[in-house]
Amino acid sequence: MSLAEAAFIQAVDGVPLKIKLARAERKRKLKAVGLVLPLFLFVVITFLSPLLVMTLKSVENEETFGRLDRTREALASWSGQDLPDEAAFAALAADLKIAGEQRLAGEIAKRINYEFPGAQSKFKTITRKVAAMETGPYRETFLSTDAAWGNPKLWRVIQGASGKYTAYYWLSAVDLRQGASGIEQVPANQAVFLDVYGRTFWIAGLVTGLTLVLGFPVAYLLATQPASRANVLMIFVMLPFWTSLLVRTTAWFVLLRNEGPLNDLAQLLIGSRFDMIFTRFATILAMTHIQLPFTLLPIYSVMKTIPPSHVRAARSLGAGPFLAFWRVYFPQTVPGIAAGCLLTFILSLGYYITPALVGGPRDQMVSNYVSYYMNNIINFGQASALGATLLIITLVLYWAYNRLVGIDKMKLG
Amino acid sequence: MSTSERPGNRRGLAGKPGDFVEFIDIQKTYDGETLVVKNLNLSIRHGEFLTLLGPSGSGKTTSLMMLAGFEVPTQGRIELDGRRINDMAPHKRDIGMVFQNYALFPHMTVEENLAFPLQVRRMPRADIEQKVERALEMVQLSQMRKRRPAQLSGGQQQRVALARALVFDPKLILMDEPLGALDKQLREHMQIEIKHIHQKLDVTVVYVTHDQSEALTMSDRVAVFNDGVVQQLATPTDLYERPENAFVAQFIGESNKLRGVVSSQNGKECIVNVNGHGDVRAVPIRANGPGNKTTLSLRPERVRINPTDGVFTNQFDAQVEELIYLGDHTRARVSVLGTDDFVIKLPNAEGVPDLAPGSPIRIGWKPEDCRALDWS
């Protein structure tokens, strides 16, 4: 029936049926919206807004924007290759004078220092110097104070930092930088993050693979046991779930350290101790232990839905035990495997406490660097760019999963 | 699937006919305390359609699973085509099986489901295609070949399951309540269809059901199970007309039960005193001579109301308690011989009987329709 026809259908009192339906449903819809609203607001306030703020921080020059306005104007006509003119030096001197009075020069210096290492001390010296000066010429003063002021690169950094937005943090998160002639790779001795991402992916992938290899047979055992026994076994699987992550990691720390029980045993049996704590081995071991239930439970829940008659049917149709498993049972567990592995992989990408406590310096993952920039250096821009990169990678993985398996097929617990 | 390929046929010519599958002294227990199957002896002839019928927990499905190889007999021997198969793995038995919920593989299309048993047998691709095609035609699902089981109706899924169990030309097909999930109309249709396929292909079918009308419709012979024991193994006609014990009489169709004590008995007839309310003449089947208790069994449709005097040797006064009009017949519940749940079926062939609840009537039946069975 066409829409025009539908509009003509009327209820007994002459009101079009569609309007009647909308009226009758309105109350129910309002109720439904009312029930969902608190959670929706919660998600917006606690998840979406921090995400937005964090992303903004990673592209903003919050330390320098508005504090180097004169310099920016003076540099507007600068070629970027040679030494800026006296006006630019005078403008920077004026900006620094004001910043010095407002005690903001330190922040500017720190920001410039990210991109031009060593700039911080030069800024401090020159700020003190220009504060005492009434008139120019500034260019000679600057250049006589430090030859670095004659470096066009420093001026390019100052110019870049004077704007509202910067790509510096994002470029830096993937080991790139703004060079004299466009985007370039940072020198090998300064490149850290690609290596960190690679390491993070490798650890997450290895942990995912290990939990799958260990978890799949256990899930199968659980799914095929009678309910009473399966419940008891399930408690053992869930136990780590109910213990704090920090406590479990600390337990591994105690077990694996050089004077720990494992090394005591090794000493007793073969007369030597092993370096286990602060190694990749310890990181992988502890992470696998923690992640095992996350991989196992989705697989288990999918296995529970596979009727035993499927394998029996395959057997009666002539397939041996392995063939029946491989061609009939296993393909049906794939949505569970995909869900469990995706969950573990994504969670493993964000691991922080475990590598920090039991891993060595070469086992630190992206999250450890996020924490380092947040807590040690107070460089929110870099921390945000690293975190956001991780988020983007996760979303891409999720998208790929949806294309390959389909989110609607995912079964979690 | 030409008949000459069937190994059972060869055996039918060469060996002794009549026992394609044999259960010999089979006992089965799961917990070591109670027997699910007690001393089962059952011979299944080549090419027959044999139904294991019984209430749930009677051991019929367990017996089927032992034949399929999914359960191991605790005691006894199962022979298939003269070979002991107790310890043979299920996939080596070459037995087709249709499961209760079809057990179609959800990740494969109809075509792939049908090809599965052929692929695992490493058949050449061309042969597989040909056999799948033929099986699809047999169940009229050629257009559905590319669909997944979830996209099919229950009836279509059932046909796929049937085709899959037949596609590799097994010598024996087992069916475990295959029609249980279908609605009544479709179920009756499929019963006929399965029966026709059985006749056309000349396979041996062992069919499990708890639905007695299904068993009677489809089977050459029916084994009635109860309490782990075969109560009676007979053709549908014999089962209905000549039940050998009170359980079978009750389970197959409907029957009136009258309990009494034998007062006299000869080979052909016995007289049973029903609790002092009257003497009934009956055929002694499991009656154990004068003085012993017996249960009389009588089909409701064999009772006549207000018969001419002297036509029946069993005639009694009764009173109508309740009348239920059912279209093709009327059910009358009457009280007679001290019981008030005695049912009479009055066919509508001669019009609706002119009766009213509370009215006194005379009822009668032939002694040969009344069977004196074991006490129950």
pLDDT at B18: 55
Closest Cα in chain B, distance from residue A333 (Å): 10
Residue B95 has pLDDT above 60, yes or no: yes
What lies within 8 Å, CB to CB, of B270 at 6+ separation is: B262, B264, B281, B282, B283, B284, B287, B294, B372
**Residue B16: predicted pLDDT:** 47
Same domain? For A161 and A217 the reply is no
Shared domain check, A345 and A256: yes
Query: Which of A309, A323, A328 has the CB atom closest to B99's CB atom?
Result: A309
> And the tokens for A36?
């969902």
Pick B70's closest partner by Cβ from A312, A317, A328.
A312
For the cut 80, the answer to whether the pLDDT of residue B374 exceeds it is yes
What integer best gives the mean pLDDT of chain A?
Answer: 88
Averaged over A266-287, what is the pLDDT?
Answer: 90
Same domain as A46, residue A151:
no
Instruction: Give the pLDDT confidence of B199-257 residue by residue, as tens digits.
Output: 988 899 999 999 888 999 899 999 999 988 899 999 999 999 888 888 998 888 888 88
Residue A160 region by backbone torsions, left for phi larger than 0, else alpha for psi between -120 and 50, else beta: alpha
Which chain A residues touch B if contact means CB-CB below 8 Å?
Answer: 307, 309-310, 312-321, 323-324, 327-328, 331-332
> B105, A313: Cβ pair inside 8 Å?
yes
- Whether A177 is covered by a domain: the verdict is no
What one-letter code names the amino acid at A299? I
In whole angstroms, what is the distance from residue A315 CA to residue A34 CA?
A: 53
Domain-embedded: residue B119: no
Does any domain span residue A155? yes
- Residue A181 in any domain: the answer is no
- Helix (H) / strand (E) element for A179: namely strand A176-179
Three-state SS for A27? Answer: helix
Of A316, A327, A332, the CB nearest to B106: A332
Residue among B99, B107, B168 minimizing CB distance to A332: B107
Judging contacts by C-beta atoms under 8 Å, the chain A residues touching residue B168 are 317-318
- For the segment A64-68, the average pLDDT, to the nearest whole number, is 88
Residue of A nearest to B92 (CA): A318
Domain carrying residue B300: 255-373
**Chain B residues whose beta carbon lies within 8 Å of the beta carbon of residue A331:** 107
Q: Looking at CA atoms only, how far is residue B110 from chain A in angstroms?
A: 14
ipTM of the complex: 0.81
Q: Are residues A53 and A112 in the same domain?
A: no
Report the C-alpha gap between B63 and B82 in whole angstroms.
Answer: 18
Asked if B375 is an interface residue toward chain A (Cβ–Cβ < 8 A), one would say no
CB contact under 8 A, B70 and A323: no
Confidence bin at A409 (pLDDT 50/70/90): low
Q: Which of A309, A323, A332 sits opposite B101 (nearest CB)?
A: A309
Q: Decide the pairing of beta strands A176-179 and A182-185.
A: antiparallel
Note the pLDDT tens digit of each residue in B274-321: 888 888 888 888 878 788 888 888 899 888 888 887 788 888 888 899
Please give the pLDDT value at position A383.
93
Least confident of A133-147, B94-108, B227-241: A133-147
| A-chain residues near B70 (CB < 8 A) | 312, 315
Supply the CATH number for residue A370's domain.
Answer: 1.10.3720.10
Question: Measured between CA atoms, how close is A316 to chain B, in angstroms?
Answer: 5
State yes or no: pLDDT of A159 exceeds 70: yes
Binned at pLDDT 50, 70 and 90, residue B7 comes out as very low
Query: Is residue A110 situated within a structural domain?
Result: yes
Same domain, A202 and A290: yes
- Do residue A144 and residue A39 come from a single domain? no
Residues B82 and B187 in one domain: yes
B241, B276, B302 — which closes off a domain? B241
- Put simply, whether B90 touches A (Cβ < 8 Å) is yes
Cα distance between residue A124 and residue A113, in whole Å? 11
B164 touches chain A (CB under 8 A): yes
pLDDT the model gives residue A188? 84
Minimum Cα–Cα distance from A321: chain B residue: B91
Tell whether B87 and B198 lie within a shared domain: yes
Q: B154 with B182: CB under 8 angstroms?
A: yes
pLDDT at A7: 53
Give the model's confidence band at A10: pLDDT under 50 very low, under 70 low, under 90 confident, else very high. Answer: confident
Pick A312's closest partner by Cβ from B103, B104, B168. B103
End position of a domain, from candidates A32, A57, A82: A57
Q: Which of B101, B116, B173 to mutate to test the interface with A (most CBs of A within 10 A)?
A: B116
Same domain, A87 and A141: yes
**What string of H, E and C letters represents the secondary structure of chain B?**
CCHHHCHHHHHHHHCCCCCCEEEEEEEEECCCCCEEEEEEEEEECCCCEEEEECCCCCCHHHHHHHHHCCCCCCEEEEEECCEECCCCCHHHCCEEEECCCCCCCCCCCHHHHHHHHHHCCCCCHHHHHHHHHHHHHHCCCHHHCCCCHHHCCHHHHHHHHHHHHHCCCCCEEEEECCCCCCCHHHHHHHHHHHHHHHHHHCCEEEEEECCHHHHHHHCCEEEEEECCEEEEEECHHHHHHCCCCHHHHHHCCCCEEEEEEEEEECCCCEEEECCCCCEEEEEECCCCCCCCEEEEEECHHHCEECCCCCCCCEEEEEEEEEEEECCCEEEEEEEECCEEEEEEEEEHHHCCCCCCCCCEEEEEECHHHEEEECCC
- The CATH number covering residue B301 comes to 2.40.50.100
d(CA B207, CA B219): 8
Asked if B109 reaches chain A (Cβ–Cβ under 8 Å), the answer is no
Q: Of B52, B25, B17, whose CA–CA distance to B41 is shortest?
A: B25
φ, ψ at B209 (rounded to 5°): -155, 160
Query: How near does any CA of chain B get to the CA of A320, in Å?
Result: 6
Residue A123 vs residues A97, A126, B95, B343: alpha-carbon distances, Å: 11, 5, 89, 111
pLDDT of residue B287: 79
Q: Do residue B235 and residue B279 come from a single domain? A: no
Q: Pick the residue with more confidence: B4 or B97?
A: B97
State whether B231 and B340 are in the same domain: no
Strand, helix or coil for residue A182: strand
Residue where a domain terminates, one of B208, B241, B274:
B241
Could B105 and A328 be called an inter-chain contact, meaning their C-beta atoms sit closer than 8 Å? yes
pLDDT value of residue A2: 52
pLDDT digits (tens, 9 = 90+) for A305-319: 999 999 999 999 999
Higher pLDDT, A60 or A408: A60
Q: Tens of pLDDT along B33-80?
A: 888 998 899 999 988 999 999 998 888 999 999 999 999 999 999 999
Which amino acid would we find at residue B86?
Answer: N
Give yes or no for B91 touching A (CB within 8 A).
yes
Q: Do A313 and B96 touch (CB under 8 A)?
A: no
Q: Chain B interface, mutation test: which of A224, A317, A326, A332, most B Cβ atoms within 10 Å?
A: A317
User: Which two three-digit tokens encode residue A239?
Assistant: 């136990």
Q: Is the preceding peptide bond at A137 cis, omega within 30 degrees of 0? A: yes
User: Do A48 and A79 lie in a common domain?
Assistant: no
pLDDT of residue A131: 85
Q: Is B131 on the interface with A (CB under 8 A)?
A: no
Q: Could you tell me if residue B248 is inside a domain?
A: no
Residues B285 and B324 in one domain: yes
Greater pLDDT, A135 or B35:
B35
Q: What are the angstrom distances between the C-alpha of B96 and each of A312, A317, B221? A: 11, 6, 20
Do B47 and B185 fall into the same domain? yes
* pLDDT reported for residue A236: 87
Verify whether the Cβ–Cβ distance B99 to A327 is below 8 Å: no
Q: Do A161 and A262 share a structural domain?
A: no
Instruction: State yes or no: pLDDT of B3 exceeds 50.
Output: no
Helix or strand or coil: residue A26?
Answer: helix
Question: In this structure, are residues A224 and A333 in contact, taking their beta carbons and an 8 Å threshold?
Answer: no
**Residue A344 pLDDT exceeds 70:** yes
Same domain, B212 and B311: no
CA distance A202 to chain B (A): 32
B101 in contact with chain A, both atoms CB, cutoff 8 A: yes
Of B91, B167, B165, B160, nearest to B129 by C-alpha is: B167
Question: How would residue B1 be classed by pLDDT, with cut points 50, 70 and 90?
Answer: very low
pLDDT band at A199 (very low <50, low <70, confident <90, very high): very high
So what's the pLDDT on residue B31?
87
- At A3, the pLDDT band (50, 70, 90 cuts) reads low
Inter-chain CB pairs, A–B, below 8 Å: 70
Residue A349 belongs to what domain range?
Answer: 193-409
**B202 and B265 belong to one structural domain:** no
Task: Pick A331's closest partner by Cβ from B94, B96, B107.
Answer: B107
Angle between helices A152-162 and A105-115 (to 10 degrees): 120
Segment B359-366 mean pLDDT:
88
User: Residue B124's pLDDT is what?
Assistant: 93
Q: Do A313 and B97 touch (CB under 8 A)?
A: yes
Q: Comparing B19 with A194, which gets the higher pLDDT?
A: A194
List, edge to edge, every strand of the sheet that includes B75-80. B35-44, B21-29, B75-80, B83-84
Cβ A307–B69 below 8 Å, yes or no? no
- Please state the rounded mean pLDDT for residues A53-58: 90
Residue A341: the pLDDT is: 92
Q: Helical H runs in A102-151?
A: 105-115, 119-132, 138-145
Query: How many structural domains does chain B have?
Result: 2
Q: Are residues B345 and B232 located together in one domain of the fold?
A: no
Q: Do residue B346 and residue B271 come from a single domain?
A: yes
What's residue B15's pLDDT?
39
* pLDDT over 60 at A101, yes or no: yes
- Please indicate whether, in this complex, the C-beta atoms of A313 and B103 are within 8 angstroms of each other: yes
Q: Give me A391's structure tokens.
A: 């988020």
Q: Sign of torsion, CA B112 B114 B115 B121? A: positive
Interface contact B96-A316, CB threshold 8 A: yes
Q: Which residue has the higher pLDDT, A133 or A155?
A: A155
Distance in angstroms (rounded) separating the CA atoms of residues B291 and B221: 35
Among chain A residues, the shortest Cα distance to B114 is held by A317
Q: Could you tell me if A254 and A160 lie in one domain?
A: no
Query: Within a domain: residue B348?
Result: yes
What's B196's domain CATH number?
A: 3.40.50.300
| Nearest-angstrom CA–CA distance, B334 and A171 | 96
* Whether B91 and A320 lie within 8 Å, measured CB to CB: yes
What's the pLDDT score for residue A411?
56
Min Cα distance A310 → chain B (Å) is 5
Check whether residue A156 and residue A273 sit in a common domain: no
Is the pLDDT at B10 greater than 50? The verdict is no
Same domain, B177 and B74: yes
Residue B13 has pLDDT above 50, yes or no: no
Q: Give the pLDDT of residue B97.
A: 93
* B134-189 confidence digits (pLDDT tens): 999 888 888 989 999 999 998 899 999 999 999 999 989 999 999 888 888 888 98
Number of structural domains in chain A? 3
The string of pLDDT tens digits covering residues B321-351 is: 988 888 888 888 998 888 888 999 888 887 7
Average pLDDT over residues A4-9: 59
User: pLDDT of A371-404, one tens digit each?
Assistant: 999 999 889 999 999 999 988 988 898 888 888 7
* Strand bridging mode B270-273 / B256-265: antiparallel
What is the rounded distance in angstroms from the CA atom of residue A228 to the CA atom of residue A128? 78
**Predicted pLDDT of residue B202:** 80
Q: Residues A217-239: what's their mean pLDDT?
A: 90
- pLDDT over 90 (residue A283): yes
Rounded Cα–Cα distance for residues A103 and A109 (Å): 11
B116 touches A: beta carbon within 8 Å: yes
What Cα–Cα distance (Å) separates residue A347 from each residue in A242, A334, B56?
17, 20, 49
- Pairwise CB contact (< 8 Å): A317 & B95: no
One domain, residues A144 and A220: no
- For residue A60, CA distances in Å to A55, A374, B23 come to 9, 16, 84
Instruction: Indicate if the pLDDT at residue A413 is higher than 80.
Output: no
Please report residues of B whose CB lies closer than 8 A to that of A302: none
pLDDT value at A233 more than 70: yes
Q: Which of A78-82, A265-269, B95-99 has the lowest mean pLDDT?
A: A78-82
Q: Is residue A173 part of a domain?
A: no
- B56 and B81 belong to one structural domain: yes
